[in-house]
């Protein structure tokens, strides 16, 4: 199963992605996480990427595509994968389509996580992240058991440098200008499944569980994904 998670920053792609991984048993590839890990290790590519993401801007297509291509060649992707944060531009989507065709594969579905603008700002400004295992929390909606500490690995939580008001504004603009056109792109290919992602994480997951089954993930899976498709 090859699944793409679409949606603005703060829509919950990462949170829902972790649940999808558990249910479907395929890896989640988050380009944002790859960049943060590379920057933390001091790699020149990571530091170059940071000069863009720290300001909320998208990293150039050529940089992202090379990384994704390399990651998809790993054997853990043989049984499928979930893309979180890629593609983010029409150019990236075109390249992905070609890349997959060369591998004899194709996307099974694209989940669009739709969230009201006010809700996005509240989520992003209160988000706290574990720099070690990438688990995410929210200061009020989903706090950790011990204040400031990750429930999973005990590391001190941080606020992402791009979760600041200035950066959030730029990221939402980048999404509207460069990523939102992908909604039409994938709707035209009958791949788009729209999700109301304003609620609580459990409710949101339940709302698209049946779509996952239809995409071939989980019990009673059928190969046809028709219900909920945006045409």
Catalytic residues: 13, 88, 127, 160, 171
Reported as half-sphere exposure (CB side, CA atoms, 13 A), residue 215 has a value of 28
Q: Do 78 and 25 meet the contact criterion of CB atoms below 8 Å apart?
A: no
Q: In a 3-state reduction of DSSP, which class is residue 194?
A: strand
* Of the candidate residues 28, 171, 194, 214, the single one contacting ligand AMP (CB under 6 A): 171
Q: Give per-residue burial for 20-59: e unless 16+ CB within 10 Å, then b.
A: beeebebebbbbbbbbbebbeeeeebbeebbebbeebbbb
Residue ranges of the alpha helices (H) in 73-215? Answer: 90-102, 117-125, 165-174, 181-188, 201-214
Q: Which two tokens stand for residue 228?
A: 């909920």
Could you say which of 8, 12, 17, 32 contacts ligand AMP (CB under 6 A)?
Answer: 32
Tell me if 76 sits within 8 A of 27, measured CB to CB. yes
**Between 49 and 225, CB nearer to ligand AMP:** 49
CB of 10 to ligand AMP, least distance (A): 9
Find the shortest distance in angstroms from Cβ 37 to ligand AMP: 11
Among 3, 26, 59, 115, binds ligand AMP (CB under 6 A): 59
The first and second tokens of residue 213, run together, are: 């089954």
Chain residues 148-167 in contact with ligand AMP, contact rule CB under 6 A: 162
Question: What is the rounded CA–CA span in Å between residue 78 and residue 60?
Answer: 27
Find out whether 4 and 186 touch, Cβ atoms under 8 Å: yes
Using CB under 6 A as the binding rule, the residues of this chain from 69 to 88 that contact ligand AMP are 85-86, 88
Per-residue x/- track, 89-128, ligand AMP (CB under 6 A): ---x------------------------------------
Q: Is 185 in the site for ligand AMP (CB under 6 A)?
A: no
Does 53 sit near ligand AMP (CB under 6 A)? yes
Q: How far is the CB of 222 from ligand AMP (least distance, A)?
A: 31
Residue closer to ligand AMP by CB (options 28, 171) is 171
Residues lying near ligand AMP in the complex (CB under 6 A) are found at: 9, 31-32, 35, 52-53, 56-59, 64, 85-86, 88, 92, 162, 171
């Amino acid at each position: 199963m090859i699944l793409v998670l679409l949606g603005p920053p703060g829509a919950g792609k990462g949170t829902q992605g972790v649940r999808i991984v558990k249910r479907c048993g395929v890896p989640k590839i988050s380009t944002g996480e790859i960049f943060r890990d590379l920057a933390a290790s001091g790699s020149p590519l990571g530091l170059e990427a940071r000069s863009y993401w720290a300001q909320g801007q998208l990293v150039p297509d050529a940089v992202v595509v090379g990384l994704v291509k390399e990651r998809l060649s790993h054997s853990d992707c043989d049984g499928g994968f979930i893309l979180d944060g890629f593609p983010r531009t029409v150019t990236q989507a075109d390249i992905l389509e070609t890349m997959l065709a060369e591998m004899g594969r194709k996307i099974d579905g694209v989940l669009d996580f739709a969230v009201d603008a006010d809700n996005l700002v509240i989520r992003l400004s209160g988000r706290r992240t574990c720099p070690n295992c990438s688990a995410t929390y929210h200061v009020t909606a989903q706090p950790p058991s011990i204040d400031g500490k990750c429930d999973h690995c005990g590391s001190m939580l941080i606020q992402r440098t791009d979760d600041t008001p200035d950066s959030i504004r730029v990221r939402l603009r980048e999404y509207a200008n460069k990523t939102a056109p992908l909604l039409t792109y994938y709707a035209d290919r009958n791949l788009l499944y729209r999700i109301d992602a304003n609620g609580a994480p459990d409710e949101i997951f339940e709302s698209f569980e049946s779509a996952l089954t239809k995409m071939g993930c989980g019990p009673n899976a059928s190969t046809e994904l028709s219900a909920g498709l945006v045409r």
